[in-house]
Amino acid sequence: MKNITVVGVGYVGLVSGACFADLGNHVVCLDIDKKRVENLKQGILPIYEPGLEELVERNVKAGRLEFTTSYADALKTAEFVFIAVGTPSDVDGQADLRYVRMAAESIADAMDHSMIIVNKSTVPVGTGDWVADIIRNRRPDAPDFSVVSCPEFLREGAAISDFMNPDRNVLGSTDPDAAEKVAQLHLPLRSTIMITDLRTAEMIKYASNAFLATKISFINEISNICEALGADVSEVAYGMGLDRRIGPHFLNAGLGWGGSCFPKDVKALAFMAETEGRHPHLLHAVMDINADQRKAPIRKVKELLGGTLQGKKIGLLGLAFKPNTDDMRDAPSIDIARSLLREGASVRAYDPVAMDVARDSLPEVTMMKNAYDVAQNADALILVTEWNEFKNLDLQRVRDLMAEAVLVDGRNIYDPAQVRAIGFKYLAMGRGYNGEGVES
């Protein structure tokens, strides 16, 4: 058993802390947000993640997981201190490191014995060296410490599984002994462990997310070409994915990527490149395609409603940026809803878990109790998030409830021929041929 402190109880910190505790370690999770910590002590989580509530409850009861706002208490016996605070984007795309700085300074003030400080937050290349300098400058007499980069690769909605069954764990440090000790923490996961230098480890995280975002933007670009030429992007993606050099993952045409990672990481990588005098044309194209993709459902619903949205009632099925999360950060639904409102439409929506979070971003959108209430007297529906419950809707009932049977499938989850047979006017994303001719 090791003594671990995790600074930050947001998405990455809480999942990592709970999982390390479940592996048999003693973990103290620290956050400066008193209300959040008090809620956690009462079993109220700040995020929705499948299985996390049960994981936290089990390890709190076992005495392996604690929560505090005190650095002195959190670091009292810590051997490893994971920094897992937010690094949001500035206006220009640069990662905002104020919370990392605050954490490093607070660690420096409170540390009274040697420890290993692990950067779990997604941070710009060079941040590991910067954190070490902050601590040394703050506490010239500080006990011995080392800094290790350990980037996270957790998918929202599957984070516990990703932590416990990772493709790899990447560690970077200028201190090989410290990196090896962090590697020992991860041995129970039986994954490939890659040890490299600090800056390379930090870059692996950015390069990985940028590549995945590129695959999504690429298939969405192909989707738009498919519409113009009469091909079906779903079949195109399947055919591409059979090539082992390409693979099937992240080739689902839709409304683009959002969330807490891809948007800020692609921006931050482009910013770093430009700061060094490089020209990241591909990264900018990836971002531009993603932004354009959110305009597609507006064009489609206008086409099916005769060219205007003024006075129309439009329903959104799904709000979170992806299923199995309540994360609304950079969610396509925000841009889509705001565009509909600007066009003069009234907007109602339903999401299984994200509506409470969404209300702050979309105060003019009426939140409904279920998908059928959204459909009641609606002129059109836009499928935004591919929750499983939407895949199993009684579409005949939905069609009967609507004023006009217009459906725009932003995630290609329905069979075009079946939906049209029910009586819908239906458009999807890039499905040029659909059993009844060309889509558009």
- The yes-or-no answer to whether 3-196 and 197-440 have a common fold is yes
SS3 of residue 372 by DSSP: helix
Indicate if 19 belongs to the active site.
Answer: no
Helix and strand numbers, DSSP H then E, in the chain = 19, 14
Predicted pLDDT at 170 = 98
82: Cβ–Cβ under 8 A, 6 or more apart, which residues?
4, 5, 6, 7, 13, 16, 17, 118, 120, 150
Q: What is the pTM of this model?
A: 0.93
Predicted pLDDT at 433 = 56
Where do the H-state alpha helices sit in 150-197? 159-164, 176-186
CB distance 283 to 206 below 8 Å: no
CB distance 315 to 378 below 8 Å: yes
Predicted pLDDT at 89 = 86
Q: Name the nearest CA neighbour of 171 among 133, 199, 209, 144.
A: 199
How are beta strands 313-317 and 145-149 bridged, if at all?
unpaired
Q: Name the nearest CA neighbour of 79 among 128, 113, 41, 125.
A: 113
How far is 182 from 117, CA to CA, in rounded Å?
10
How are beta strands 406-409 and 115-119 bridged, if at all?
unpaired
How far is 19 from 25, CA to CA, in rounded Å?
9
> In CATH, what number does 197-440 get?
3.40.50.720
Domain ranges of the chain: 3-196, 197-440
Q: Name the nearest CA neighbour of 65 among 78, 56, 77.
A: 56
Predicted pLDDT at 436 = 44
Please report, as a single letter, which amino acid is at residue 163.
Answer: F
Predicted pLDDT at 181 = 98
CATH architecture of 3-196: 3-Layer(aba) Sandwich (3.40)
| Encoded tokens for 245 | 């050099």
Q: What is the pLDDT along the chain (440 residues), one digit of tens a residue?
A: 999 999 999 999 999 999 999 999 999 999 999 999 999 999 999 999 999 999 999 999 999 999 999 999 999 999 999 999 999 988 788 899 999 999 999 999 999 999 999 999 999 999 999 999 999 999 999 999 999 999 999 999 999 999 999 999 999 999 999 999 999 999 999 999 999 999 999 999 999 999 999 999 999 999 999 999 999 999 999 999 999 999 999 999 999 999 989 999 999 999 999 999 999 999 999 999 999 999 999 999 999 999 999 999 999 999 999 999 999 999 999 999 999 999 999 999 999 999 999 999 999 999 999 999 999 999 999 999 999 999 999 999 999 999 999 999 999 999 999 999 999 999 999 998 544 434 44
What φ, ψ does residue 83 adopt, rounded to 5°?
-90, 115
How far is 82 from 145, CA to CA, in rounded Å?
13
How far is 121 from 151, CA to CA, in rounded Å?
7
Length of the chain: 440
Sheet containing strand 406-409, strands side by side: 366-367, 346-350, 313-317, 380-383, 406-409, 425-427
Predicted pLDDT at 177 = 97
Predicted pLDDT at 438 = 40
